[in-house]
Amino acid sequence: MAHNTIPLLGGKSVHCINEQQMAEAWRLAEHETGSSEKIQAALAALENELTRNERAALAFVIISRLKATSPLPQA
Residues 41-54 have pLDDT tens digits of 999 999 999 999 99
The predicted structure's pLDDT at residue 33 = 93
CA distance linking residue 32 with residue 39, whole number of Å: 10
CB atoms within 10 A of CB 46: 13
Q: At residue 5, does pLDDT exceed 60?
A: no
Please indicate, yes or no, if residue 63 is contained in any of the structural domains. yes
**pTM for the full model?**
0.66
CA distance linking residue 62 with residue 74, whole number of Å: 17
Please indicate, yes or no, if residue 49 is contained in any of the structural domains. yes
Report how many domains make up the chain.
1
Mean pLDDT of 7-15: 53
What SS3 state is found at 39?
Answer: helix
Please indicate, yes or no, if residue 31 is contained in any of the structural domains. no
CA distance linking residue 39 with residue 28, whole number of Å: 8
Please indicate, yes or no, if residue 62 is contained in any of the structural domains. yes
The predicted structure's pLDDT at residue 16 = 67
Please indicate, yes or no, if residue 8 is contained in any of the structural domains. no
CA distances from 34 to 38, 40, 48 (A): 7, 10, 22
Domain that holds residue 59: 40-67
